[in-house]
Structure 1
Amino acid sequence: MNVTLQSAKMMGAGLATMGTTGVGAGVGIVFGSLVMAYARNPSLKQQLFGYTILGFALTEAVATFATMMAFLITFT
């Protein structure tokens, strides 16, 4: 394989993983919001938890897609 192509693939894979940098902050925001909302209105515990799990799953999907793209760039 051409060295230039290989280095471009590695740089592309590195840039693709930059999508995971905001995921940690996103998950923190989601669960921090759960704690604040639960502290304000404890009677909505089940509904708030359902929304939190949905937010967590959507946030983690971004990390999964970014990692998948990095693997696709690297191994194809």
Structure 2
Amino acid sequence: MESLKFIGAGLAALALAGVGLGIGTVFASLLNAMSRNPSLSNQLFIRAVIGFALTEATGLFALVVAFLILFS
């Protein structure tokens, strides 16, 4: 039964790989958009930071779930 906790926590932690890809996509899109239209740099950066925060929050939720599975 104890090993199933480790498997569940590992599966919950797999979401962190998706978060890394998501953050990379957000900033790659930011650089692409800024190179196409430099006059909108400030507006694009604000939206990219909001996208980064939402993506990072998803990762933190996944990490909390993994720890809850592991230590409860």
Q: How would you bin the TM-score normalised by the shorter chain? A: over 0.9
The sequence identity of aligned pairs, in percent, is 54
Instruction: Please say which structure displays the higher CA radius of gyration.
Output: 1
The equivalences for 1:1-76 within 5 A come to 5-76=1-72
Once residues 54 and 63 of structure 2 are traced to their aligned partners in structure 1, the CA distance between those partners, rounded to angstroms, is 15
1:10-69 superposed Cα distances (whole Å, 9 cap, x missing partner): 111011001111111111110011111111111111100000001101111111011100
Unaligned runs of 5+ in 1: none
Unaligned runs of 5+ in 2: none
- Segments of 4+ in structure 1 off by > 2 A? none
Aligned pair count reads 72
Once residues 35 and 68 of structure 1 are traced to their aligned partners in structure 2, the CA distance between those partners, rounded to angstroms, is 31
